[in-house]
């Protein structure tokens, strides 16, 4: 299956997800306003970091070794079982800690004493969220693209329904709770899709714990910590800086712009994750790897640039369509955010090479470095510029990251 066909198959899931996110955006814009958007961003980033910690970050490793052991079914299943046991233990331990310290965690994350129960809901849903991460990684590694697409569609629909109902009944509090509940509900859909295959049984997740495989997966635990944990935490710190400097409404405008970026970039990130990681894991010839990366640039980068230009020139219409007049001031944040998005896409194509080849030290170094520099640049920009400075910081950081990734990938492919 090539990149173009994978992209077309992924378009259905992306389309449903985009529609659901657009509807969620409109619902939240009407019910919680810009200030509520900022807190929702904080909670989502926190939930992402917690899920990565609880799962020990093995999702990417499961995808890689499921694809790599395509002809060795017993080894595949031992990978799944080892990851499942690690994820179960990790989620139980972390959920217990969340339950015990839910009040201070809520204050640190949301800066508001009204929402401690949201952390309890996150703790309760954490084991199911971790299971869903594992099952999606298995489908990805098995190249079961149609089922993976169906699972993503199920997740989009369940999130739309739960967030819509939660926000309508309980406002911001209900929306926060629904973000955790919606992800856990989608696990039932993913599990059902896995069980309908000939190669998966629920018992495969409890075959035993293999230490050599666990050590292999540990490399991805470190890499996941650099992306799925440090990345969201960097967003939380940057958003806190914006709140302290310009207020929660301005932070909501920034969050809304980054959400628009997230929506259109799904068109790019989904085929990358579905196709690129398994494909690059299979290739070992350096010339073939270079050719695959270049073909990705020829297809993906023009799409990213076209989407960014469209959004920039129609940003006023998009703001009124997706949000409300309260969000009008966010129009000034688009230019540098979109430039940063395109540069980030270019860097992503190279980062997938390091992931596929388990270049742990290089990947961790780059991810940690550029998450830290992002936070530092945002804080510096907030002190010297207006709210637009945060998007300038993002674009500058993305450009530096692209240069660094290009250097390391080129070095690996020419050695």
Comparing C-alpha atoms, which of 391, 398, 411 is closest to residue 348? 398
> Higher pLDDT residue, 215 or 92?
92
Which element (helix H / strand E) includes 29? helix 3-31
To which residue do tokens 């068109």 refer? 267
Q: Which residues form the domain of 211?
A: 3-414
> Which residues lie below 8 Å from residue 147, measured CB to CB, with a gap of 6+?
139, 193, 194, 196, 197
Quickly state the pLDDT bin for 271 (edges 50, 70, 90).
low
pLDDT digits (tens, 9 = 90+) for 147-156: 888 888 888 8
- Residue 146: both structure tokens together: 């149609």
pLDDT of residue 379: 94
Choose among 339, 179, 321, 319: nearest CA to 252: 319
Rounded Cα distance, 229 and 404, in Å = 21
Query: Which whole-number Å values give the CA distances from 24 to 7, 28, 211, 212, 317, in the listed order?
Result: 24, 6, 43, 43, 18
Ordered DSSP codes for 34-102 = HHHHHHHHHHHHHHHHHHHHHTTT-HHHHHHHHHHTTT-HHHHHHHHHHHHHHHHHHHHHHHHHHHHTH
- What total of structural domains would you count in the chain? 1
218-266 residue pLDDT tens: 777 776 666 777 888 899 899 989 988 998 889 999 999 998 898 888 7
pLDDT of res. 223: 66
SS3 of the chain: helix, strand, coil, percent, to 5: 90, 0, 10
The tokens describing 53, both together, are 């910690």
- Interval 285-331: pLDDT, tens: 778 778 877 887 888 888 899 999 999 999 999 898 888 888 888 99
- Which residue's entry shows tokens 């940690």? 368
Q: What is 278-342 written as a DSSP string?
A: HHHHH---HHHHHHHHHHHHHHHHHHHHHHHHHHHHTHHHHHHHHS-GGGGGGGGGHHHHHHHHH
Q: Which two tokens stand for residue 160?
A: 């739309």
How high is the pLDDT of residue 358?
59
Residue matched to tokens 């996941």: 224
pLDDT for 171-227, tens place per residue? 888 988 998 888 888 899 999 999 988 888 888 888 888 888 888 887 777 766 667
**pLDDT the model gives residue 51:** 82
More reliable by pLDDT, 209 or 12: 209
Alpha-carbon span 247 to 97, nearest angstrom: 31
Most confident of 5-9, 11-15, 390-394: 390-394
Specify the pLDDT at position 357: 66
């Amino acid at each position: 299956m090539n990149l173009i066909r994978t992209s077309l198959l992924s378009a259905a899931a992306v389309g449903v997800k985009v529609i659901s996110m657009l509807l969620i955006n409109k619902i939240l814009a009407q019910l919680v306003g810009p200030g509520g958007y900022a807190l929702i961003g904080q909670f989502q980033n926190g939930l992402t970091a917690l899920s990565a910690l609880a799962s020990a970050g093995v999702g990417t490793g499961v995808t890689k070794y499921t694809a790599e052991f395509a002809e060795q079914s017993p080894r595949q299943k031992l990978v799944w079982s080892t990851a499942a046991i690690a994820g179960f233990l990790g989620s139980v331990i972390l959920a217990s800690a969340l339950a015990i310290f839910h009040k201070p965690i809520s204050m640190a994350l949301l800066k508001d004493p009204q929402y401690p129960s949201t952390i309890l809901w996150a703790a309760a849903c954490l084991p199911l969220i971790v299971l869903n991460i594992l099952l999606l990684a298995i489908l990805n590694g098995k190249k079961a693209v149609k089922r993976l697409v169906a699972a993503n569609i199920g997740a989009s629909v369940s999130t739309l329904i739960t967030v819509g109902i939660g926000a309508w009944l309980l406002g911001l509090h209900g929306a926060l709770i629904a973000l955790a509940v919606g992800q856990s509900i989608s696990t039932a859909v993913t599990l059902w899709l896995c069980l309908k295959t000939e190669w998966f049984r629920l018992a495969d997740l409890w075959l035993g714990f293999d230490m050599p495989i666990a050590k292999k997966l540990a490399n991805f635990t470190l890499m996941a910590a650099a992306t799925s944990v440090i990345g969201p935490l960097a967003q939380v710190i940057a958003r806190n800086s914006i709140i302290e400097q310009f207020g929660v409404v301005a932070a909501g405008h920034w969050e809304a712009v980054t959400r628009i970026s997230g929506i259109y970039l799904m068109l790019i990130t989904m085929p990358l994750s579905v196709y690129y990681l398994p494909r690059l894991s299979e290739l070992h010839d350096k010339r073939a790897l270079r050719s695959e990366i270049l073909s990705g640039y020829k297809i993906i980068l023009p799409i990213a640039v076209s989407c960014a230009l469209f959004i920039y020139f129609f940003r006023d219409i998009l703001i009124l369509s997706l949000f409300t007049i309260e969000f009008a001031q966010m129009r000034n944040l688009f230019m540098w955010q979109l430039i940063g998005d395109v540069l980030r896409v270019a860097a992503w194509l190279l980062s997938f090479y390091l992931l596929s080849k388990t270049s742990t030290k290089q990947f961790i170094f780059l991810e940690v470095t550029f998450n830290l520099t992002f936070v530092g640049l945002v804080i510096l920009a907030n002190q010297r510029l207006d709210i637009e400075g945060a998007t300038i910081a993002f674009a500058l950081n993305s450009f530096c990251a692209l240069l660094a990734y290009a250097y390391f990938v080129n070095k690996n492919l020419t050695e």
